[in-house]
Structure 1
Amino acid sequence: AAGGVVVGEEEEAASVERTGTAATAVVEESETAQEEEIRQQQELAQRNRAILNKLNDEQLHRYEQYRRSTLQKDNMRKLVQHLTNKDPLFAVNDKSLIVICGVAKIYVGELIETARAIASATGHEGALEPFHIRSAYRKLDKMGKIPHRSGQRRLKL
């Protein structure tokens, strides 16, 4: 019986050692993944700094304005409710509203960037005019960057 206890204790000790080794491996993998994520974030920050250093004063000012700008959540919530006919199936919570506002901000930014390029190409200086915005919309639509609910239905501007 004493020999059986020793063998049982040895098996238990070996099991604890394997479990400890496995736990150590999981911790090491987790630390490695965290280190990799930190490294990637540092590389991204460095690339962003390099890009910002290449901007002229006007571009830097526009970029700062873009970063500070937000779309009002209440207005976006009303827009989504209007588009979905206030269907409870499409209830918008705060997290999804943040995503919707982010996507809309990117869309508006791309539209304005394209309009600014069109204005520059035509030699226009100063504030954008409605013509530039409409032209930018048509250009993005032709490039396939404007989503349509069904088929090729286009917004007439």
Structure 2
Amino acid sequence: MAGTDLYPVAGCKIYIGEIMATQIDDFIESDFITSPDQFTEIDGWTTMGVFGDTAALISTQLINRNRDIKQKGTTNAGSMQNVFAEITGDDGQVALIAASQGANKANYGFMVEFNDASGASGSVNSKAYFVGLVMNASPAGGAANTVRNLNATIEINSNVVRTAAT
């Protein structure tokens, strides 16, 4: 039966890219592919946060109908809250921490690579691209028998561009 394949989160990857300005029109895949070395993998990813558009609710109270009429408003791609095992010196974590500094107001390109390629020779995983602000990259502890973590929140400032697996 088509469409019943399930894919593990294990094997997915997240990358931070170059500084990217927001734009009026929705982004497309080619907006994110400007150089082969544009993205750096952020190593140690242990928890993938939620991301993708959610519409705001517009609610109008119509007195004569005794009913609220609801409409979809603007969309917001959300706050992606990720957890990483802290790996000192990892280029991706260093870039993430630098992007999170208070004086850094720049948006960055991000790429999430999923684990869903067919496995055939030349197959490619699906990807999601977006632009976002790194709001924090904060060290976090845990229980005695856990590693130190790095918690990072990315406020997504664009549409999410998805590509299909082949």
Give me the TM-score of the superposition, normalised by structure 2.
0.22
Larger Rg: 1
- Structure number with higher strand proportion: 2
Give me the TM-score of the superposition, normalised by structure 1.
0.23
- Which structure has more relative contact order (CA 8 Å, sep 6+)? It is 2
